[in-house]
Chains A and B, each alone.
Chain A
Amino acid sequence: GAGVSQSPSNKVTEKGKDVELRCDPISGHTALYWYRQSLGQGLEFLIYFQGNSAPDKSGLPSDRFSAERTGGSVSTLTIQRTQQEDSAVYLCASSPDRAKLFFGSGTQLSVL
């Protein structure tokens, strides 16, 4: 596709369940970012992938959060044992070079 694609668009889960959020970046973009946007807040950095380098996980809020990027393309953000405070919009962005981020439409996660 022409843009960054995220799925699902919305996800409702029960507290304690695991969830997986998917991001398909723009083809050829070497960098991929995950951000979290809580209600009424700006974007909080979670994790950054650049090519084949080890990801920068410094923004992950706890060890319940993990992410992988297979083949330098698709990325999956996994949240284990979800908590209500995990409810937020999770945004993915890809970039061909510095200072040009293209965002997807995000996944709205609701933990009941």
Chain B
Amino acid sequence: AQTVTQSQPEMSVQEAETVTLSCTYDTSESNYYLFWYKQPPSRQMILVIRQEAYKQQNATENRFSVNFQKAAKSFSLKISDSQLGDTAMYFCAFMNSGGGADGLTFGKGTHLIIQP
């Protein structure tokens, strides 16, 4: 079974700063997907970024980028020029390439607070 670990329950940074959220995972699979989801107070889980394990290039989406270290099983999220609207819970998630029900595993989340 896969496990996803987020070791930072809460982080707080000043607006415009860069922040990195940590995530490690454990799997015996070779092909899989990794995700970062954002959950604001509205409760809706919003996909921030997705990484396919077979791609060596780190995924980027505007101010969001990841540092994917496959050998170390590490998948950190970097948010540049942080904004007040980035305040939310952030969840790291894993899905094996077969998809389906047992392929999606979430970490317990990091509460990110952006201070004005």
Contacts and interface: CB of A to CB of B under 8 A. Distances in A.
A105 B109 contact: no
B45 A33 contact: no
Nearest to A56: B101
- Contact residue range for chain B? 20 to 34
B91 A43 contact: yes
A58 B44 contact: no
A103 B99 contact: no
A54 to B, nearest CB: 12
B43 A42 contact: no
A98 B45 contact: no
Interface of B: 4, 33, 37, 42-47, 50, 91, 95, 97-104, 106-109
Interface of A: 31, 33, 40-43, 45, 47-48, 50, 56, 58-59, 89, 91, 93, 95, 97-101, 103-106, 108
